[in-house]
Each structure stands twice: as structure tokens, then as C-alpha cells.
Amino acid sequence: MNISITLSSAVCKPIVNFQPALTSLLNQHHQQQQQRKDKVVVIMGATGSGKSKLAIDLATHFPPAEIINSDKMQVYKGLDITTNKVTEEECRGVTHHLLSIVDDPNYNFTANDFCHHASLAIDSIVGRDGLPIIAGGSNSFIEALVNHDSTFRARYECCFLWVDVSLPILHSSLSSRVDRMIEAGQLDEVRQFFDHSISDYTRGVRRAIGVPEFDEFLREEGSTYGDQSKKKKLLEAAIAMTKVNNCKLASRQVQKINRLYTIWKKNTYRLNATESVFNKSAWDDDVAAKGRRILQKFLYDDACVLVPAGAPL
């Protein structure tokens, strides 16, 4: 039996009208795909701005959350005071990944290494239904993971929190921090690490600020006939240089975050932590509480509208 079908214009019209509905369905499907992405929080900020503290605060409020370190010097074993690692007490029971994982002080831990280890950590945290929180000052590591790792982009949706402290205020607080680190035993730590036969500070953990600066002093200290006033001057110069280099690092980090901010604007939220440098009680209102509100919306409210980051301080 032959059946011939003639498509009249009357029949064709409804098909043409399905187009908007089809587009809308495809959009919905795309949105659902987006919504299905697992969520990752990234905390950025210059050295000394309070990233680690915020990460721990948030992890305790959104359990089970675990922290992934993104500081390229804190991945090495040792030099805990010098590289300013969180103490066990400060961790408040929150699991930290990628802290003190590299034994070889000469190994150059690269952005690729970071992407590899951070991706494994994120997968395992998500596998435990936990929230991964990446925190640390190595912006080139964060950029490599988020911008250049296509697997990461396809699987995860990010919220970036930027802990920002006005630079002049941060510089003076970094200077006091170096004094506190010296009081806490930084010099002894670097002394134990010091090796007379090595004068190359361009590799591995030897690049950490607070290591090369003490080289000249430690060499002089080791010499039996060294004069005391020269040693004292060299020590003062090493401490002063450590302060200057920390301030330079902070300025460079802020520049990099400003650049990343122009790329990730939509999902980046700046938390002004300047006041909290003088007034510890401002931390909770200005930084921790705001961070919690932003994460609450990011994690549980898919239709959220968040106030974007303002201009840099």
C-alpha cells in the first residue's frame, strides 16, 4: 500500500513554531548541566591578609569541608614558621591537603604538580560529599587550575573570595609579623636548614622569603673570628630585608589578584579585612560573616544574585 503524505504549509507552520520551545528546552538542559557541577570555593589574598583563617572559619561552618593549600612554599616539609603554615591548633580539626607534602627541598614544585595534586584532593573531598576550599597565595597555581585545566572547568563551579587589606596597612602589619616570627624561633629554623656548601637560592623551598635573606648572617655567625658588631648588623639587615621582601610579595600578589579579578569578576567577592587588622572584633562582621552569607547563597541558592566585588582598595 502506498501512502503519500503532502506537507501543506498548514502542517509545517506548527513545526516552525516549536523552535522557541526547543531552544528553551535546550537552555534548561544546559542550565541543569551547569547546576550539576560540583562546587569549589577559592580564597585569594595577599600574604598576611587572613586567607587561612577565613578558610578554617568557613570550613567549620559548612561541614564537611576540607582545605587545599595553594601556597607554593607551604607544600614543602619544614620551615613551618618561615613559610607561616597554620598550626594544628589553628586548624581546629579541619583537614588540610598539600601542606608539607614535598620531602626534597630542592624540588621545584610546579603549577602542573599543583593541578595534579589539587585535582586528586578535590575529587576525594567531593567523593566524601565535602566542600573543597582552596586557600593560599600562589595565584599562578590557582590560575593554572581554574583557567588552563579544562577538566576542572568542565566539572566544577567556583566561588572566589578575595580577602583584601589596604596595602599600606598590610605592609605595616607584615613588618610586625616578621618580628613575631623571629620571636617564635624563625632564626633557629633557618639556621638548622642552612648549608654552608649551598649558595643557590633559586630552587625549591630555599626561595622562601626569610631563607636567602639570612645567608650572609649565618655564614658570618659560623666563622670563629667574626666580630660581634658585624654579626649584629648583618642580623638586623636580614630581618629588614625579610620585611621588605614580604611587602614586595604582597604588592605583587595584589596586582595578580586584580588581573584575575578582571577575568573572574562575575564570581569574585571582595571582603574588606582592613579594619580587622586593628580591631580583631571587626573580623567577624567584615570578613567571616560576609563570607558565610556569600557561601550560603553560592551553595544552596541556585538563583542567587550576589553583590559583586567593588573596586580594589
Q: Which of 42, 59, 73, 234 is the binder for ligand ATP (CB under 6 A)? A: 73
For 283, residues 6+ apart whose C-beta sits below 8 A from its C-beta are 50, 53, 273, 276
Asked if residue 180 binds ligand ATP (CB under 6 A), the reply is no
In the region spanning residues 20 to 59, those forming contacts with ligand ATP, defined by CB under 6 A, are none
Q: Which is nearer to ligand ATP, 131 or 218 (CB)?
A: 218
Minimum CB distance to ligand ATP, residue 60 (Å): 23
Strand partners, 134: 42, 68
Relative orientation angle of helices 228-264 and 167-183, to the nearest 10 degrees: 140
Taking CB under 6 A as the criterion, which residues in 133-152 touch ligand ATP? 137-141
Which 203-222 positions form the footprint of ligand ATP (CB under 6 A)? 207-210
Query: Cβ 16 to ligand ATP, closest distance in Å?
Result: 54
Instruction: Kindly state the cell numbers that stand for 295.
Output: 557561601
What does the DSSP 8-state code read for residue 98? S
Q: Looking at 49, 69, 74, 242, which residue binds ligand ATP (CB under 6 A)?
A: 74
Least distance from ligand ATP to the Cβ atom of residue 130, Å: 25
Residue number with CB closer to ligand ATP (149 or 286): 149
Q: Report the nearest approach of ligand ATP to the CB of residue 146 (Å).
A: 13
Residue 49 or residue 253: which is nearer to ligand ATP going by CB? 253
3-state secondary structure at position 294: helix
Instruction: Give one DSSP letter per residue of 6-19, joined into a string.
Output: ---HHHHHHHHHHH
CA atoms of 286 and 49, how far apart (whole Å) = 13
Show the beta-strand stretches assigned E in 51-153.
Answer: 65-69, 96-97, 131-135
Map the footprint of ligand ATP across residues 251-310, applying CB under 6 A. Answer: 253, 256
Least Å distance, CB 201 to ligand ATP, is 9
Distance CA 135, CA 25 (A): 38
**Rounded distance, CA 12 to CA 66, Å?**
56
Do 68 and 133 touch, CB atoms closer than 8 A? yes
Enter the DSSP assignment of 73.
T
Q: Does 186 bind ligand ATP (CB under 6 A)?
A: no
CB of 109 to ligand ATP, least distance (A): 10
Smallest separation, CB 139 to ligand ATP (Å): 4
Give the residue nearest to ligand ATP (CB): 140
The reply on whether position 105 binds ligand ATP by CB under 6 A is no
Q: Which residues pair with 102 in a beta bridge?
A: 76
Residue placing its CB nearer to ligand ATP in the complex, 74 or 276: 74
Give CA–CA dist 40/133, Å, rounded: 6
Where does this chain bind ligand ATP (CB under 6 A)? 71-74, 83-84, 137-141, 207-210, 249, 253, 256
